Amino acid sequence: MQFEFATATRILFGPGKMAEAAPLAASMGRRPMVVTARDLVHTPSFLEQLRAGGLEPATFSVAGEPEVSTVLEGLRQARETGCDMVVGLGGGSALDAGKAIAAIMTNEGDLLDYLEVIGRGRPITMPPAPYIAIPTTSGTGTEVTRNAVLASPEHGVKVSLRSPYMLPRAAIVDPELTHSVPPSITANTGLDALTQLIEPFVCNRGNPMVDAICREGIFRAAGSLRRAFMHGSDSDARESMSLASLFGGLALANAGLGAVHGLAAPLGGLTHAPHGAVCARLLPFVMEANVRALENRAPASPALARYDEIGRLLTGDPKAAAADAIRWVHSICTDLSILPLAHHGLTGSDIPVVVTQAQKASSMKANPIPLTDFELTEVLTRALD
């Protein structure tokens, strides 16, 4: 047995941990670039904390999911204002943008030199500027991953900036920051978190540490996602979802994902739909396709037993199997009002292009079994309406 497990240098988790952000930032630099979501309610008080600690923050707001141009503009502002570190505060978009800005601040050349697929894919050779990631949603887990996902509208795709160096210097996960997240975003990000626990658990690159994290995360998400959606101020539910999201980030960074994220990458570039909304809609249909393919082509695969275990974790029924897991996910998607892909602009004529691009996605390589073009087409067709 051989595996590697890597994560942020420090993880601070728990209600009230946000109070430690300013002192931690002061230990890393004097002029932080605070990359944040536009109109985020937590930003003004955090800037006050930084100034009270003797720091001189600059700010850069991110509207929507980050594009290559977003990072270039943030990088320009960080250099012009003399920033020596970066703090990401917000959802996955702000955290990914901050992570990318911190990486390119210390590496020569253009961002395209380092991007996958549309760029030259050169390795990042210098450690990024110190970076602190503070999530305000429970979904992406990007506070503990080693990549940043960026959209390139002119290419119609989303691509990654990726390096082991990009693991944040510190991740501060304070569940109290998520209490104000509205129900629709709670639903989409929460199901993204669940996806990022299920896919690493059944993927072909797992290891015992990832397995243990996924089991705990799936169990917590199953018991708390509906409550967090219905009662946003339920502190226990929010805490469990924050932990599930963190565990999903740890799992995907050290094992891999699967066909949900393989399809989500081109879908996000094509439709500009929020990543979590796409993953939420795809999850039950990909689970069905995977289980059917495994039963037909690889009945001895341990992934089938993993899907049965997911059924038990989600339902609490010791006799549950994979079919029960799929029914549970379909049910919660209905309860949380997850919208079909057509709502985000996907049409039937787009499906062949998405399938072709998805087959090339890095996430698809970790799926427990290769899915055919026909199987992926069926997934998208069922998720469309």
Q: Kindly tell me if the per-residue pLDDT of 373 is higher than 90.
A: yes
Assigned fold of 10-177: Rossmann fold (3.40.50)
Nearest-10 crossing angle of helices 351-358, 373-384: 130
Tokens of 99: 């992570």
Sequence-distant (≥ 6) Cβ neighbours of residue 168 within 8 angstroms: 8, 9, 88, 99, 131, 132, 133, 143, 144
Place of tokens 């990549």: 147
Place of tokens 């890393």: 28
Place of tokens 């991007």: 115
pLDDT digits (tens, 9 = 90+) for 55-113: 999 999 998 889 999 999 999 999 999 999 999 999 999 999 999 999 999 999 899 99
pTM score, whole prediction = 0.95
pLDDT digits (tens, 9 = 90+) for 123-154: 999 999 999 999 999 989 999 999 999 988 88
Answer whether 314's CB lies under 8 Å from 325's CB: yes
Give the right CATH number for 180-384 from 2.40.10.10, 3.40.640.10, 2.40.420.20, 1.20.1090.10.
Answer: 1.20.1090.10
DSSP tag of 347: -
**Cα gap 32→56, rounded to integer Å:** 7
**Cα gap 237→40, rounded to integer Å:** 22
pLDDT digits (tens, 9 = 90+) for 280-293: 999 999 999 999 99
The pLDDT of residue 264: 95
Place of tokens 């990088």: 75
Sequence-distant (≥ 6) Cβ neighbours of residue 179 within 8 angstroms: 232, 233, 235, 238
**Cα gap 47→12, rounded to integer Å:** 19
Helix or strand or coil: residue 36?
Answer: strand
* Interval 225-245 mean pLDDT: 97
The pLDDT of residue 346: 96
Answer whether 237's CB lies under 8 Å from 342's CB: no
The pLDDT of residue 39: 84
Spell out the domain ranges in the chain.
Answer: 10-177, 180-384
pLDDT digits (tens, 9 = 90+) for 165-180: 999 999 999 999 999 9
The pLDDT of residue 379: 98
Q: CA nearest 115: which of 81, 82, 66, 63?
A: 66
Helix or strand or coil: residue 229?
Answer: helix
Q: Kindly tell me if the per-residue pLDDT of 1 is higher than 90.
A: no
Tokens of 148: 């940043």
